Chain A
Amino acid sequence: MRTVFKTSYDADINLFRHGTQAAWYMALLVLAVVLPFLLSTFAIGEATNMLIWAIAGMGLMILVGQTGQASLGHAAFLAVGCYANVLLQERLGLPFLLSFPLAGVIAGLAGVLIAIPTTKLHGIYLAIATLAVSILADDVIVLAEPLTGGVMGLYAPTINIFGLEIDRYVNPDRFYWLTLVVTVLVILAYRNVLRSPLGRSFAAVRDSEVSAKAMGVNVARTKATAFGISTAITGLAGALMGHFAGIFNNETFNIIISIQLLLMIVIGGLGSIHGAFFGAVVVALLPQAIAISRDTVGGLLGTGSIAIPGLEQAIFGAILIVFILFEPMGIYGRWVKIRTYFELFPFYRRDMFRRQKSYLKTERMR
């Protein structure tokens, strides 16, 4: 185990705790950059999909993992970002470089708009309110047909950055790099928010609203800000998702996507950027893994490939149940345990990460 010898106040808030850690992340970044030269076109598409889910996951993570506000409605903001991006390009003729950040801003504003009336809600009520937002968004897309194309959907145009054409199907490598750039920017923004007073107040609100209030944190405004930042990032992910899918309609962003997004970051591990990425790996690769194993099993039994509807969601649900029962901190929590085991070898004890026994009280008495 490495003990960091802190010689300045900055050591507490540095991006990396020590040089070795920085070196590892740089190596990971280099690997991510050269990935298109190593993988096939299909695999690059999957990697892009994973990165987009990771961005959306980071957006939700700011809200759920850092501020402790559950949202079951983030697909609505994916939709806002996606439609805003495409409509700005098609109707107003804005270039992608302008429409993309604007899509994030619009999604962020939409988030704040939703947050203002809902910040006084707690826990489960907030989850229900956001659930309603997600369902309403689905219906509104259908009703606003002149703008959104309704159930027919919209086509995402080819991205054009200063003459450089980026299309998911024509040049998937470029689209992958574009997504990677956005991912890195979002990670940096996420880290910087956490290092700032705002990030600290997020954590204060998450851990105890009463104590946060006592420390002078404006709880309602902090929640609304968290909502805004969270939905803005989610909106960016939505814009990329639109370009990735090529064609999208209300079904692309239905309530199931909202739920899946929340389940994803829980599987990955709440409260960390790593968690968003681990969760995204599971969500993006699970369908492929199921398809491959189905073909293998079918091949062994000689029955050919059998399609079982709903299998994907059921396996996803089963994985989640196992995690929430046996590893509530998700994949990242397990990774931290394994790492600690090797760092402390041979002094790791089983009870090091044991949860404290807790009892619930009703929320109906305040």
Chain B
Amino acid sequence: MDVLQLFVSGLANGCVYGLIALGFVLIYKATEAVNFAQGDFMMLGAFIALGLTNEQFMGLPFWIAVPLAIIAMGVVGYLLDMLVVRHMFGQSQIAIVILTIALGFVLRFIAGLIWGHEPIALESPIAGKEVRFGGLVLGLDEVTIIVVTLILTVALYIYFNRTKLGVAMQAASQNQLAAYYMGIPVKRVHSLVWALAGAVAAVAGILFASKGSIDPSVGLLGIKAFAAAVIGGFGSLPGALLGGVIVGLIEPFASYYIAAGYSQLMPYLLLFLILVFRPHGILAQVHAKKV
């Protein structure tokens, strides 16, 4: 039973990493850019929800605050792309990486300024409740996280492969110039996918904040999610989830079976091994061009 409990809590953790990784992958899939501020997006989304619903701030009902926070983060994502990232259109990936790292610093500062640097817990109805499956006692928050993540991943996967806008997003990333020739408004598509990534980050943030308290530096979790995205295969939506789950599971099991100090090392060690032996991740998205 112990192992199973460990497994479920690892799985829930992994799903949060997977959700942040989904945001990375969304933006990467559609714009070829890597958003290093995705973790800070998550943090901001969580804080917006918290600011709307917690008693000490605005005190709105939870189920109104959640969609509002998701929409707000979508708008933030859209505006960030429109006002800042779009200037970098066509520039190299590394330039955008550096830009988003700087954006993350600024977002962290803004959140600290508004909500302070003390850890705060989200007043969420799913926090601290239990669900029983037979003899197994699971946290409602953990079960919710796993279910929501699965639904979101499947929905996004279908969206990218089946809908017109999803295919347009993929086209915009594969060749910007050719996408223009096909009549795709590449810049607007980019902004839309940033909005989508913002919304996904808000969901991740709300779920994460339901599990425990948050503070502005929680965005650094993004680095771990980043490792997850790479392990799974950068550019693959199921890969992001898979990588997230692997990272989420490896941590509790490493600290259970090896030693507590080594558990935080494991995700990065795995990342390094994956990069050396399978550079494009487990579900690789890199294909050799057939000429």
- Seen from chain A, the residues whose Cβ lies within 8 Å of a Cβ on chain B are 70, 117-118, 120-121, 123-125, 127-129, 131-133, 135-136, 139-140, 142-143, 255, 259, 262-263, 266, 308-311, 313-314, 316-318, 320-321, 324-325, 328, 357-366
Contacts and interface: CB of A to CB of B under 8 A. Distances in A.
Contacts of B88: 324-325
B84 interface: yes
B279 A313 contact: no
B32 A317 contact: no
Contacts of B94: 70, 123-124, 127
Q: Which one of B109, B174, B176, B227 has the greatest number of beta carbons of chain A within 10 Å?
A: B109
Nearest to B227: A132
B286 A132 contact: no
Given A117-B276, A317-B104, A361 B99 contact: no
B161 interface: no
Q: Top 5 nearest A-B pairs by Cβ distance?
A: A314-B109, A317-B105, A317-B102, A359-B176, A320-B102
B176 A361 contact: yes
A129 B270 CA distance: 11
A358 B113 CA distance: 38
Interface string B101-119: 1111110111011000100
A357 B90 contact: yes
A66 B287 CA distance: 29
B106 A364 contact: no
B102 A124 contact: no
B272 interface: yes
Given A128-B226, A363-B32, A364-B235, A321 B109 contact: no
Nearest to B108: A310
A139 B265 contact: yes
A120 B286 CA distance: 14
Contacts of B113: 308
Interface string B250-274: 0000000000011011001101100
Interface in B39-63: none
Nearest to B272: A132
A133 B101 contact: no
B213 interface: no
17 contacts: A125-B279, A129-B271, A133-B272, A135-B223, A139-B268, A140-B265, A263-B98, A310-B105, A310-B109, A314-B109, A318-B102, A321-B106, A324-B99, A325-B99, A364-B287, A365-B287, A366-B286
B26 interface: no
A262 to B, nearest CB: 7
B279 A317 contact: no
B177 interface: yes
Contacts of A328: 91, 95
A220 B262 CA distance: 32
A164 B103 CA distance: 47
A359 B226 CA distance: 25
Contact of B275 (A121, A136, A311, A313): A121
Contacts of A255: 223
Contacts of B272: 129, 132-133, 136
A121 B279 CA distance: 7
Contacts, number: 147
A255 B287 CA distance: 32
Chain B interface mostly = helix
A313 B230 contact: no
A70 B234 CA distance: 18
A136 B268 contact: yes
B112 A309 contact: yes
A117 B271 CA distance: 13
A141 B59 CA distance: 45
Contact of A136 (B32, B104, B269, B279): B269
B239 to A, nearest CB: 12
A310 B102 contact: no
Contact of A317 (B93, B95, B103, B174): B103
A314 B117 CA distance: 15
B189 interface: no
A133 B269 CA distance: 9
B175 A361 contact: yes
Contact of A362 (B32, B103, B112): B32
Given A124-B94, A313-B109, 18 more contacts: A117-B275, A117-B276, A121-B275, A124-B34, A125-B279, A129-B272, A132-B272, A139-B265, A255-B223, A310-B105, A317-B104, A317-B106, A358-B91, A359-B175, A361-B174, A364-B174, A365-B288, A366-B289
B97 interface: yes
Contact of A263 (B90, B102, B261): B102
B216 interface: yes
B164 interface: no
A263 to B, nearest CB: 6
A360 B176 CA distance: 6
Q: Which one of B97, B102, B108, B287 has the greatest number of beta carbons of chain A within 10 Å?
A: B102
A309 to B, nearest CB: 6
A259 B223 CA distance: 12
A359 B175 CA distance: 8
B129 interface: no
Interface string B121-156: 000000000000000000000000000000000000
B87 interface: yes
Contacts of B5: none
A324 B261 contact: no
